[in-house]
Chains A and B, each alone.
Chain A
């Protein structure tokens, strides 16, 4: 029997979408042995990574129900997908929305910034994030880094948890162009740093910078207290889609068709 490839999905709360899809992943990718390790955002970003051991900070606020350990030995895995890199998305959107670009035609009474300055500042912002990844995780060809999902499309509507900066960027005539530029910079900085990037698959997006609403882990915000409305975390379908994209592009494995996967599960194949 061929040895299964060991895959680790490790990251912030966005790991939840993958964990929720774990049965489907296990069924459709029988050649993979996938493990999940997630921490709340601040704990993830304050966790240490030394000698291959990823360890939650001592004073961790809370732990996900499905987590039974506070550390994991990443060396045991053939590949690791680090989930939830934000690449300063919020800061980038606020920067883009705060200025009219000198070289562009549209004026909205915002201060002016040259295209060169806007690009230069975005590059510096992303470079700082990428440097952080290198400092923490080093360069390991087994590692891939997945950007956190863009907020749900509904997050740009008026209401609780509204993404105001994102909304302003999308309303900007050249907002999508700058969104594209933001992604190009991430790709370029990651490539320059020799780190492997997994961008959010296009088929999960509504606009270039938002995620389709049906991927929400909270199908509706109706009846949800304002401070609990979540427009950023996705469901198992999202985890599944993204994992498939990762498997296809990085591991060169496609999911088995459902019937075949079920047969495999029941031992009929």
Chain B
């Protein structure tokens, strides 16, 4: 006699405990196919860089509107924000920030305090990592940003599937208009001024609403686009919430995971890809993390990509991208503002 929990993938013992972590069958059942020819746009937290890089290395049709189409050493490209995502926006940790970027690109929003300073140099506060030494004048930051926004729109307009990795619920927000920044003021540039900036931890309802808004805005630019949501398995480096960092991580990831599920359940054109589950599964016994128990190991990334490629029936290496030049150890380093927080403490 069967149980109300059949098939086997619904039971912990047979679906997780008895299986090797790389073979969790049925964990990802795709809602729509993605092929090597599908135009894929990537954005999100630093974990999303893995997705971008791996698909690009397999010569999938990953959109990249700002990176030179010349074989250049990857580490150098990444240092200036190239080759990380489909446009040079750097890490986008929250759904709200992504919505704001699109609104700005559409000319409907002007962020507060878009330029930060450090040592007499000027930085784009919404992507402070892309020019590590900053620029000489505020005018240059504005001009570079205007050029970048054109490329963001170009990327969205040519997208079939938008892959977005949710990273955090915590953010630093401008008090005046709610502009969300990818890093706390004072870390990479700018100054922490409590009169201007406030720490904010998004709720599940807010993230869900932001994802809904994101879908609406994306469809406004490119009707019919599909969205694949993932949640970054990378724990928080530090929390501003006042709680223990483990609790803060659990809150953040739980909210993101639940919000992603709600939105994916609501729409046929939104799917959820369980990279978070695969990496954090107890059966992996932490082996998908590096020694710092935070960054995802190469084997973890490989497992995630295998799950993605198997589901889309394209596990064979298709080719080598032009941009894979300079494949050195350094190139494996993700560009992650969070890591800089850690470095600042060392």
Q: B76-90 vs A: 1/0 string, CB under 8 Å?
A: 110110100000000
A98 to B69, CA, bound (A): 9
Are A120's CB and B76's CB within 8 A? yes
Contact of A103 among B69, B82, B136 (CB under 8 A): B136
Contacts of B77 on A, CB cut-off 8 Å?
121
A121 to B147, CA, bound (A): 19
A114 to B124, CA, bound (A): 13
A128 to B151, CA, bound (A): 29
Contact of A125 among B73, B140, B151 (CB under 8 A): B73
Tell me if A91 counts as interface (CB < 8 A to partner B).
Answer: yes
Contact of A116 among B70, B133, B143, B326 (CB under 8 A): B133
A125 to B135, CA, bound (A): 22
Are A111's CB and B136's CB within 8 A? no
Tell me if A258 counts as interface (CB < 8 A to partner B).
Answer: no
Tell me if B337 counts as interface (CB < 8 A to partner A).
Answer: no
A111 to B143, CA, bound (A): 11
How far, in Å, is B85 (CB) from chain A's closest CB? 16
How far, in Å, is B144 (CB) from chain A's closest CB? 6
How far, in Å, is A110 (CB) from chain B's closest CB? 10
Tell me if B66 counts as interface (CB < 8 A to partner A).
Answer: yes
Are B144's CB and A125's CB within 8 A? no
A111 to B132, CA, bound (A): 19
Contact of A112 among B71, B72, B75, B143 (CB under 8 A): B143
Residue of A whose beta carbon sits closest to that of B135:
A114
Q: A99-126 vs B: 1/0 string, CB under 8 Å?
A: 1001100000001101011001101110
Are A120's CB and B80's CB within 8 A? yes
Contacts of B136 on A, CB cut-off 8 Å?
103
Are A91's CB and B71's CB within 8 A? yes
How far, in Å, is B68 (CB) from chain A's closest CB? 6
Tell me if A94 counts as interface (CB < 8 A to partner B).
Answer: yes
Are B70's CB and A91's CB within 8 A? yes
Are B68's CB and A124's CB within 8 A? no
Q: With A103-B140, A111-B147 in contact, do A117 and B72 touch (Cβ < 8 Å)?
A: no
A93 to B70, CA, bound (A): 10
Contact of B76 among A111, A112, A121 (CB under 8 A): A121
Contact of B326 among A103, A111, A124 (CB under 8 A): A124
Chain B interface residue number, banded = 20 to 34
A112 to B80, CA, bound (A): 13
Tell me if B131 counts as interface (CB < 8 A to partner A).
Answer: yes
Q: Is the interface of B mostly helix, strand, loop or mixed?
A: loop
Are B140's CB and A102's CB within 8 A? yes
Contact of A124 among B69, B73, B147 (CB under 8 A): B73
How far, in Å, is B343 (CB) from chain A's closest CB? 20
Contacts of A111 on B, CB cut-off 8 Å?
66, 147, 151
Q: B143-169 vs A: 1/0 string, CB under 8 Å?
A: 110010001000000000000000000
Are A128's CB and B140's CB within 8 A? no
Q: B293-326 vs A: 1/0 string, CB under 8 Å?
A: 0000000000000000000000000000000011
Q: A71-114 vs B: 1/0 string, CB under 8 Å?
A: 00000000000000000000100110011001100000001101
Q: B55-75 vs A: 1/0 string, CB under 8 Å?
A: 000000000001011111101
How far, in Å, is A105 (CB) from chain B's closest CB? 12
Are B135's CB and A102's CB within 8 A? yes
How far, in Å, is B86 (CB) from chain A's closest CB? 14
Q: Which one of A98, A99, A121 has the greatest number of beta carbons of chain B within 10 Å? A: A121
Are B68's CB and A95's CB within 8 A? yes
Are A114's CB and B72's CB within 8 A? no
How far, in Å, is B74 (CB) from chain A's closest CB? 9
Residue of A whose beta carbon sits closest to that of B325:
A128
Restricting to A123-161, which residues have a CB under 8 Å from any CB of B? 123-125, 127-128
Restricting to A148-206, which residues have a CB under 8 Å from any CB of B? none
Restricting to B107-132, which residues have a CB under 8 Å from any CB of A? 131-132
A127 to B73, CA, bound (A): 9
Are B66's CB and A117's CB within 8 A? no
How far, in Å, is B128 (CB) from chain A's closest CB? 14
Contacts of B66 on A, CB cut-off 8 Å?
111
How far, in Å, is B63 (CB) from chain A's closest CB? 15
Are B72's CB and A95's CB within 8 A? yes
How far, in Å, is B60 (CB) from chain A's closest CB? 23
Are B72's CB and A124's CB within 8 A? yes
Are B326's CB and A128's CB within 8 A? yes
Contacts of B82 on A, CB cut-off 8 Å?
117
How far, in Å, is B67 (CB) from chain A's closest CB? 10
Residue of A whose beta carbon sits closest to that of B326:
A128
Q: With A112-B144, A112-B147 in contact, do A121 and B131 touch (Cβ < 8 Å)?
A: no
Other 7 A-B pairs with CB < 8 A, given A94-B68, A112-B147, A121-B80: A98-B70, A103-B136, A111-B147, A112-B144, A116-B131, A117-B82, A124-B75
Shortest 10 CB-CB contacts between residues of A and residues of B: A124-B76, A117-B80, A124-B73, A112-B147, A91-B70, A94-B70, A128-B73, A102-B140, A95-B70, A121-B76
Q: List 15 A-B contacts (CB under 8 A).
A: A94-B70, A95-B68, A99-B68, A103-B136, A112-B143, A114-B131, A116-B133, A117-B131, A120-B76, A120-B79, A121-B68, A121-B77, A125-B76, A128-B73, A128-B326
